[in-house]
């Protein structure tokens, strides 16, 4: 069996935080952003085409971040309410149940970056890498730059995701099949609204692609190969438009340590406990996404084959 490290004990990393105020349990900041997102989306559908593409792309990127909040139990106190809300995926590409199931598997920190057990890993087993034809290696090397991740990354990741789920469905994975079947009404409803609003289909699909490209900025260096699980998750201290589009998931180690804390509490948690977070992730910190672009837009940060992979 391949392994990076022997199994690591499960330990609590929680830093105490204020409990939610008593009341309905509805998270009004998340609901406000959700309503604003759908308003911008709707405006984009009826706006002049190029303005519409920009507005819809921003709304879809924001909606993906909101979906991430939904699968972690926000904004409602009841799971069935959040699950129902998650079913509508105007970004078209990923069924909510698949995003939920795979992302929650990703939250087992001891498996982060594992080419097999972390469903969000961008690394390959070195033996798998060595067996790839030269053209595929070249394509994946380009994809490991930020420019490549934004330009060709969306189509590569979507094809890989769909191929993986197709294999799962063919092998009898009922959860994968149900996830996609429940996604079909969402696709149909979204495209019906797009058609009714008069936005050309090509324009909407381009906006979908742009949104996926924006999201690749966040995921580009979220995790790195590191001997210690605690050193694998990034902090990007950005407080600009990208950080808001990502709902401060840019403070990624904070989210991994407190996955149930809503997005609007993450900045204060980080400010109040910065030294501990930075010590925990071994100083894997960037001041802003501007710094990330400057360093890695044309240059790969990591190799494609996992640099710490070995047989165990």
**310-311 vs 235-236, strand pairing mode:** unpaired
284 pLDDT band (50/70/90 cuts)?
very high
pLDDT per position as a tens digit, 188-223: 999 999 999 999 999 999 999 999 999 999 999 999
| DSSP structural state of residue 233 | B
Output the pTM of the full model: 0.91
Q: Let me know if residue 71 belongs to a domain.
A: yes
Whether residue 19 lies inside any domain: the answer is no
> Taking 80 as the threshold, does the pLDDT of residue 12 lie above it?
no
Predicted local confidence at residue 10, as pLDDT: 41
CA-to-CA distance for 261 and 55, rounded, in angstroms? Answer: 28
Q: Round to whole Å and give the CA distance between 244 and 249.
A: 9
pLDDT of residue 309: 85
Confidence of residue 1 (pLDDT cuts 50, 70, 90): very low
User: Do the domain assignments include residue 124?
Assistant: yes
By the 10 Å C-beta count (0-12 exposed, 13-18 middle, 19+ buried), 310 is classed as exposed
Please give the tally of structural domains in the chain.
Answer: 1
User: Residues 6 or more apart from 274 whose CB is under 8 A from it?
Assistant: none
- Determine contact, residues 309/121, Cβ cutoff 8 Å: no
Q: Taking the alpha carbons of 113, 115, 120, 123 in that order, is the dihedral positive or negative?
A: positive
pLDDT above 90 covers a percentage of the chain that reads 88
Mean pLDDT of 164-182: 96
Q: How far is CA 81 from the centre of its chain?
A: 22
User: Quick check: is 14 in a domain?
Assistant: no
Torsion angles phi and psi, residue 311, rounded to 5: -85, 135
In a domain, 170, yes or no: yes
Question: What distance in Å separates the CA atoms of residue 241 and residue 225, rounded to the nearest whole number?
Answer: 28
User: 118 lies in which domain range?
Assistant: 25-220
The label of the residue with tokens 């149900």 reads 178
Quick check: 300 and 145 in contact, CB under 8 A? yes
Asked if residue 62 is part of any domain, the answer here is: yes
Q: What is the pLDDT of residues 16-29, one digit of tens each?
A: 333 343 434 889 99
């Amino acid at each position: 069996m391949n392994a990076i490290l022997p199994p690591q004990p499960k330990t609590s990393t929680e830093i105490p935080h204020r409990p939610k105020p008593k009341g309905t349990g509805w998270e009004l900041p998340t609901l406000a952003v959700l309503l604003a997102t759908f308003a911008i989306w709707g405006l984009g559908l009826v706006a002049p085409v190029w303005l519409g593409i920009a507005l819809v792309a921003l709304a879809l990127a924001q909606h993906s971040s909101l979906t991430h909040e939904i699968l972690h139990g926000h904004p409602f106190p009841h799971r069935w309410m959040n699950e129902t809300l998650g079913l509508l995926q105007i970004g078209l590409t990923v069924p909510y149940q698949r995003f939920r199931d795979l992302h929650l598997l990703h939250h087992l920190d001891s498996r982060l970056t594992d080419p097999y057990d972390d469903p969000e890993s961008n690394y390959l087993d070195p033996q798998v890498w060595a067996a790839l034809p030269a053209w595929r290696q070249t394509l994946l090397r380009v994809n490991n730059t930020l420019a490549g991740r934004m330009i060709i990354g969306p189509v590569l990741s979507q094809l890989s995701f769909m191929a993986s789920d197709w294999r799962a469905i063919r092998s009898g994975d009922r959860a994968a099949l149900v996830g996609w079947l429940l996604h079909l009404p969402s696709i149909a409803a979204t495209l019906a609204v797009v058609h009714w609003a008069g936005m050309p289909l090509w324009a909407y699909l381009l906006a979908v692609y742009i949104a996926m490209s924006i999201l690749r900025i966040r995921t580009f260096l979220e995790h790195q190969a590191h001997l210690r699980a605690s050193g694998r998750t990034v902090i990007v201290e950005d407080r600009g438009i990208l950080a808001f589009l990502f709902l401060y998931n840019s403070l990624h180690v904070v989210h991994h340590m407190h996955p149930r804390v809503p997005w609007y509490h993450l900045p204060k948690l980080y400010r109040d406990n910065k030294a501990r977070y930075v010590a925990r992730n071994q100083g894997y910190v960037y001041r802003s996404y501007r710094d990330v672009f400057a360093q890695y837009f044309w240059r790969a940060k990591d190799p494609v084959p996992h640099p710490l992979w070995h047989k165990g």
